[in-house]
Structure 1
């Protein structure tokens, strides 16, 4: 049997799968690439959260299967988590649900944007509750409050904050 090697260091296998599930829960699963009205001009989104920042070749109208999207969402979450590890080196040792919440949050904010925030500082200081609570501050896009972002951060079952607080 061949050994499996991982190119990404930010998430465990469970964390990557959970992150893909969490991102697709909140982003939906659009199989055709589109420009969403609340995204900045020029941003194209597909598969519930993959953008032309992730895939520079992505164009409006391109189509993908659900299976392609689910697999790619986990890979995108891993790539974003790799950027978080630069400023939160303990990410790979965190419980899988916390890894998933942080990766989902990073996918939503954009690569590297967690670094320099109180979230990164609190995680590095071992203040998990404070870090997870701070996620709720990030509920605007283009300066406007979005109920959907608030729900994404706080929902009891699927929210990034509750998942971040979990120890499993």
Structure 2
């Protein structure tokens, strides 16, 4: 039995999720609306939004240390919600846990739970679930090369990490 860190991720999965999310999200210390985000979404620390922190307002500033701390735990918070629709998440290989958490942080829990991704994971169709992540490479109707990279990069891509068995 794997030791769980929180409801959704093993200790290893939580650590890997922090690394993967930080790799893709980068680091912005001033909260602002990003052009590819939907209207009204404010982002800071490279991935924390006003959906995570309802009190977040444009112009608020944070230290690098505050952002690193939050990014290290954001994957856990999202995975804790994903586990409600994918109960087997804590028993999956750590790289898969991290990929699913990163995907959920990027697009929201609904893009896991409300799509074929959760249905396929629950049915044991891992390849189909991981492949489905690659469909989500558009923001506001525009193709985003950065999202394609995030999904498919051989070293850091969510799909390759999702497919790993170890």
TM category, shorter: over 0.9
In the other structure, the counterpart of 1:41 is 39
Q: Deviations over 1:63-84 (max 9, x none)?
A: 2222221221232211111111
Q: Equivalent residue of 1:11, what SS?
A: coil
> Contact 1:24–1:47 at 8 Å: present in 2 too?
no
> Contact 1:77–1:104 at 8 Å: present in 2 too?
yes
Are 2:84 and 1:102 aligned?
Answer: no
Tell me by how many angstroms 1:155 deviates: 0.2
Q: Equivalent residue of 2:56, what SS?
A: coil
Q: Deviations over 1:17-36 (max 9, x none)?
A: 21121112111111221110
**Counterpart-to-counterpart distance in 2, 1:31 and 1:111:** 24
CA-based RMSD of the aligned residues comes to 1.4
Consecutive unaligned residues in structure 1, runs of 5 or more: none
Which of 9, 14, 17 aligns to 1:16? It is 14
> Contact 1:83–1:112 at 8 Å: present in 2 too?
no
Moved runs in structure 1, 4+ residues, more than 4 A? none
Q: TM-score, normalised by structure 1?
A: 0.91
In the other structure, the counterpart of 1:67 is 65
Which of 72, 77, 80 aligns to 1:79? It is 77
**Counterpart-to-counterpart distance in 1, 2:71 and 2:15:** 9
In the other structure, the counterpart of 1:93 is 91
In the other structure, the counterpart of 1:113 is 111
In the other structure, the counterpart of 1:147 is 145
Tell me by how many angstroms 1:111 deviates: 2.9
**Counterpart-to-counterpart distance in 1, 2:127 and 2:109:** 23
Which of 128, 133, 142 aligns to 2:126? It is 128
Which of 3, 7, 28 aligns to 1:30? It is 28
Count of aligned pairs between the two proteins: 163
